[in-house]
Amino acid sequence: MDSSKSSDTSSKINELARRRGFFWQSYEIYGGVGGFVTYGPLGTRLKLNIEAKIRDIFIKKLGIFEIESSVISPGQVFEASGHVNHFKEFMVKCSNCGKGFRVDQIINEKLGISLLEIEKMDFAEIKKVFRKNIFDCPECNNALKEPTQFLTMFKTTIGPYSKAIGYGRPEAAQSIFVEFNRLYKMAREKLPFGVIQIGHALRNEISPRQGLIRLREFTIADLEFFFNPEEANCNFIDEVESEVLPILLAVNRKKGIEEISNFTVREALEKKIVCSEWQIFFMVMAMKLLLEIGIPIKNQRFIEKLPWEKAHYATQCFDQEVYVDRWGWIEVSGHAYRTDYDLRCHMDASGADFRIFKEFEKPVEEVNYLLKPKMSLIGPKFKEKAEEIIADLSIVPVKEVLESFEEKGYYFVKGKKITKNQVEITQRKKIIKGKRFIPHVVEPSFGCDRLFYVALEYALKSKKNRTVLSFPRNIAPIQLGIFPLVNKDGLNDKAKTLSTFLRSEGFLVEFDDAGSIGRRYARADEAGIPLCITVDYVTMDNDTVTIRDRDLWKQVRVSINDLSKLLVDYFKEKIEFEDFGDFIESK
């Protein structure tokens, strides 16, 4: 990568973003704080439009539910989910050179304890290890200091009681799991179903960098899709089976190979590259989402996570990555197979029952045997030992006792012989109508700020020394620019009337009469406005206007009467600019 060129692109985006109001660092008047951004008027619209795409794909087309819950949650939620244990770093610093190291790596290197074992240690145990052993700094061989830990969740207290610990959620997923029972009812107690939440999440990153790429407060879109692991087929799989996914396999990554392999959905499933049909289906949806916000497929890839890279809850995990000029491949979404991990955690911790009852096609008959000791015989015979014997009898499988009786006529418990007549064994038939299980979950999770950034980067074009933001038309923050050709002879008023009309028709319109017409087109290009409508002298004669395309810089002339319908179709992508009519010859 050419570093001088790449730093140009990102600075260009940052500069443009600040100047035109896409985004900037928050709290600038107080010096700014890393990891927080403010989206300006254009940026907010763009971000909403991208989020609308997510809603369009997942909510409208697939019928996924959307919920909105709180950012702060009580401590139990993230204790149960495992985040309190996993969402932190143990660090140790050298007393001499000041360099910091990961505690697990030091212990692993010097003592040979496996990383998995170290993972299980808590902070007290780690401190103990460091007190027992003297570790030298790998860099300068001086002694290392006491280890420290850093929790990357924001911690607070809820209300005035310091014991009521709360955490800012580092992901929106948990608030879906926590509400599972209600949501399942709303899904009419049927699997599969999915729930999405688009909202803010907080991670107290050690050092946020890279602008929008790593924030401390960001927008996440977590989709939790629940299904029966024994009926794991995706009913949309036929529609996508020939779609091709570019995947960087873990086996290749281990060998240091960066080669992307292309698999059709069918192949990937057959070769067990992706284990879950639903997971790969969502990966295809993610690929389409990125295409729709303007990222060509050649700049997208899915990367299979290596075992030690995976989140604590995931069995199989792919990251969707997009190539950006400055930082290379960056993650924009994660696709994790979370199994029943989360629901199980919350069940264990809260006592709620998240199991689902599944009726068998045919009820199954189960025969149970019940053993009842005859106390009138056992009591007098074993005296003080009797109690112990009975306790043991209640534990052993009744079937084992029964078999022993049939074979030998007696059964040994605690070295004592129990005869057939000392107990009463009854048979009990039970009809089982179904079974209970915990649903499995696949999760696509999008970083909306990163989607925003890549959309902006891929929209950024340069034409004749001008900056043009070529957003796909339906994520553009402003849809139409309306200008009078000149500010006299009533053209201005006519253009204003037209703006009012088109606004009332539901379009997002910017009216601009400042400077020359060329300057207005240039300003509109920089804001990514797809179409500009100009009122000129011909308009005054016959009520037609020119429409100019942002990317082609060509114009067509259409009647004001037809305008609204044409524009509706255009923004619904039913027609293209070329369908508006013949291009006007440039003078």
Partner RNA sequence: GCGGUCGUCGUCUAGUUGGUUUAGGACACAAGCCUUCCAAGCUUGCGAUCCCGGGUUCAAAUCCCGGCGACCGCACCA
Nearest approach, Cβ of 160 to RNA (angstroms)? 28
Smallest separation, CB 244 to RNA (Å):
26
Contacts of 518 (CB under 8 A, 6+ apart): none
For RNA, the closer CB: 81 or 422: 81
Nearest one of 530, 585, 576, 533 to 49, comparing CA atoms:
530
What 3-state DSSP class applies to 93?
strand
Name residue, tokens 């086996």: 251
- Shortest spacing between CB 534 and RNA, in angstroms: 4
Show the tokens assigned to 164: 């009521």
**Site for RNA contains 339 (CB under 7 A):** no
Complex with RNA: residue 181 or 487, whichever CB lies closer: 487
- Please identify, using beta-carbon distances, which residue of 191 and 486 lies nearer to RNA: 486
Residue numbers 219-238 binding RNA by CB under 7 A: none
8 Å CB contact between 246 and 300:
yes
The only residue of 485, 498, 502, 560 in contact with RNA, by rule CB under 7 A: 485
d(CA 175, CA 445): 14
| Long-range Cβ contact pairs of 567-572 (< 8 A, separation 24 or more) | 567/479, 567/480, 567/502, 567/505, 567/507, 567/531, 568/505, 570/473, 570/531, 571/473, 571/474, 571/479, 571/507
Query: What residues contact residue 124 under an 8 Å CB cut-off, 6+ apart?
Result: none
**Binding residues for RNA, how many (CB under 7 A)?**
73
CB of 24 to RNA, least distance (A): 8
Chain residues 45-104 in contact with RNA, contact rule CB under 7 A? 83, 86-87, 89, 93, 98-102
Residue 176 near residue 169 (C-beta atoms within 8 A): no
* Mutual angle of helices 41-54 and 277-292, in 10-degree steps: 150
Q: Considering the rule CB under 7 A, would residue 205 count as an interface residue with RNA? A: yes
In the block, which residue shows the tokens 């780690």? Answer: 126
Per CB under 7 A, 553 contacts RNA = yes
- Interface residue with RNA among 5, 128, 255, 312 (CB under 7 A) is 312
- Tally of CB atoms within 10 A around 149: 13
> Cβ neighbours of residue 307 under 8 Å, at least 6 residues apart?
none
| Near RNA by CB under 7 A: residue from 327, 329, 410, 437 | 327
- Least distance (Å) between residue 519 CB and RNA: 4
Strand partners, 370: 426
Per-residue interface string for the shown chain with RNA, residues 379-418, x marking contact by CB under 7 A: ----------------------------------------
CB of 412 to RNA, least distance (A): 51
DSSP 8-state secondary structure symbol assigned to residue 189: T
Residue from 38, 70, 105, 142 in contact with RNA (CB under 7 A):
105
Q: Binding segment for RNA among 119-127, 390-398, 446-454, 548-556 (CB under 7 A)?
A: 548-556
CA pair distance 554, 577, nearest whole angstrom: 9
Angle, CA 239 vertex, CA 277 and CA 282 arms, to 5°: 40
Q: Which is nearer to RNA, 47 or 557 (CB)?
A: 557
- Within 13 Å and on the Cβ side, how many CA atoms surround 557? 11
From candidates 310, 358, 385, 496, binder to RNA by CB under 7 A: 310
Min separation Cβ 277 and RNA, Å: 23
When asked if residue 543 is in the footprint of RNA (CB under 7 A), the reply is no
Site string for RNA, 277-306 (x = CB under 7 A): ------------------------------
Q: Binder to RNA among 13, 23, 35, 458 (CB under 7 A)?
A: 35
Q: Which residue has the tokens 């143990």?
A: 90
The residues in 142-171 that bind RNA, with binding defined as CB under 7 A, are: 152, 170-171
Q: Which is nearer to RNA, 52 or 558 (by Cβ)?
A: 558
329 binds RNA (CB under 7 A): no
> How far is CA 214 from its chain centroid?
15
318 lies in the binding site for RNA (CB under 7 A): no
- Give yes or no for residue 340 binding RNA (CB under 7 A): no
Q: 247: helix, coil or strand?
A: strand
State the nearest-atom distance from the C-beta of 499 to RNA, in Å: 15
> Which of 363, 515 has the CB closer to RNA?
515
CB 476, min distance to RNA, A = 17
Between CA 27 and CA 459 the distance in angstroms is 27
Could you tell me the smallest distance in angstroms from the CB atom of residue 116 to RNA?
A: 14
Q: Which of 8, 119, 309, 392 binds RNA (CB under 7 A)?
A: 309
Q: Report if residue 358 touches RNA, rule: CB under 7 A.
A: no
Residues 497-516 that bind RNA (CB under 7 A): 514-516
Is 440 among the residues that bind RNA (CB under 7 A)?
no
Cβ of 475: how many Cβ atoms within 10 Å? 24
Distance CA 549, CA 535 (A): 15
Take residue 84 and report the two structure tokens written for it: 């309190």
Q: Does residue 488 touch RNA according to CB under 7 A? A: yes
Beta bridge partners of 529: none
Pairing of strands 423-437, 356-373: antiparallel
Segment interacting with RNA, rule: CB under 7 A, options 5-13, 45-53, 425-433, 443-451 = 5-13
Residues 34, 296, 363, 434: which binds RNA (CB under 7 A)? 34
